[in-house]
Amino acid sequence: MREEEKIFNGILFSPGDPELKAIKLRSHKLSAAYSRTNEDDVEIRAELVKLMLAEFGEGSFMQGPVFFHYGRHTKIGKRCFFNYNLTIQDDAPVVIGDDNNFGPNVTIVTPVHPMLPDERRVLLDKDGTPRHLCYARPVTVGNDCWLGANVVVCPGVTISDGCVIGAGSVVTRSIPPNSFAAGNPCRVLREITEKDSMRHKPEILADYRIAPPEDD
């Protein structure tokens, strides 16, 4: 079994495997190239994204700089906005849905290392050869989520549709739909409801108004 297949099967793999190192080097170079562009370099950025990511939906925008570990393990939906310093360590698959907003310095991590120091230093393969090994857990962000500045999303987490994650949170467990969650570790504080509508804040809404709901 190839090392990349081991990642997708959730078992130990060797991050130093030559094939994986080549995939990561390519992604690191593409991330660096994207990060050297400006937001008005629209055509250059579009081409780099096609080369770097598995999917990048129409209308999505990454301010940059960005860092993707594998790149091709990440799928991003439509109309998403990512502020500066986006980091996605996508050893395992990372799937981000539609209409999401990420604040500055958001980090998503998927790899997990053994807890015991001896096992972090070395494990043995089936032939008894010493290896540095880890495993990875996928991360999913649903639709219509807002992740505040400096949020860290840990391996294996699912953030369901309609969630708001407070700035500086470390998300170690999955978050149910329509939740406002914050803290380290992140926990659900309350459900997001109609009471949170801007219509109840006329002093902020000013001359704007709420758009009618879209047809399903």
pLDDT at 213: 77
Q: Any idea what the Cα angle at residue 146 is, between residues 64 and 49, rounded to 5°? A: 30
Tally of domains within the chain: 1
In a domain, 51, yes or no: yes
CATH number for the domain that contains residue 93: 2.160.10.10
Q: Which among 149, 152, 180 has a CA at the least distance from the CA of 164?
A: 180
Please answer whether residues 35 and 59 qualify as being in contact, where contact means their C-beta atoms are separated by less than 8 angstroms.
Answer: no
Residue 77 pLDDT grade (very low, low, confident, very high; cuts 50, 70, 90): very high
pLDDT tens-digit series, residues 10-53: 999 999 999 999 999 999 999 999 999 999 999 999 999 999 99
In a domain, 67, yes or no: yes
Beta bridge partners of 88: 68, 108
In a domain, 135, yes or no: yes
In a domain, 77, yes or no: yes
In a domain, 126, yes or no: yes
DSSP calls for 184-208: TTTEEEEE--GGGSGGG-HHHHTT-
In a domain, 212, yes or no: no
Which residues are known to be catalytic? 113
pLDDT at 212: 85
Helices (H), the chain: 3-8, 18-35, 42-52, 117-121, 202-205
Q: Which domain holds residue 60?
A: 3-205
pLDDT at 126: 86
